Amino acid sequence: MENIDRKNFKNLSLKIEKLVNENSLTYNQEKIIRLRYGIDNEKPASFKEMIKILKISPKELKKEINISDRKVFNLIKSKL
């Protein structure tokens, strides 16, 4: 995240938040996106923090991250 300045990161977070709010994601998928991209906070949560918050195994988190990211990226592509 060091390559992205705060303004651009915040702008990206707002766009992702809008997509998350407009579309159907499971509770965990939405929570992962919010944590991963720091939508509700100033900074993204680490992998370990997400495991603690969601109370799921690292393997399950990795799987959910892949699914969540794919959904968000597909939503972004469809909006372009």
Domain boundaries, the chain: 6-79
Query: For residues 37 and 16, is the Cβ–Cβ distance under 8 A?
Result: yes
pLDDT tens for residues 38-76? 887 778 899 999 999 999 999 999 999 999 888 888 877
At residue 80 the predicted structure's pLDDT band, cuts being 50, 70 and 90, is low
Distance CA 80, CA 3 (A): 23
Question: What one-letter code names the amino acid at 69?
Answer: D
Which pTM was predicted? 0.71
Domain 6-79 has CATH 1.10.730: no
Query: What are the distances in angstroms from CA 43 to CA 29, 39, 46, 57, 77?
Result: 18, 8, 9, 22, 24
pLDDT of 27 over the 50 cut: yes
Determine whether 49 is exposed, middle or buried from the number of CB atoms within 10 Å of its CB (0-12, 13-18, 19+).
Answer: exposed
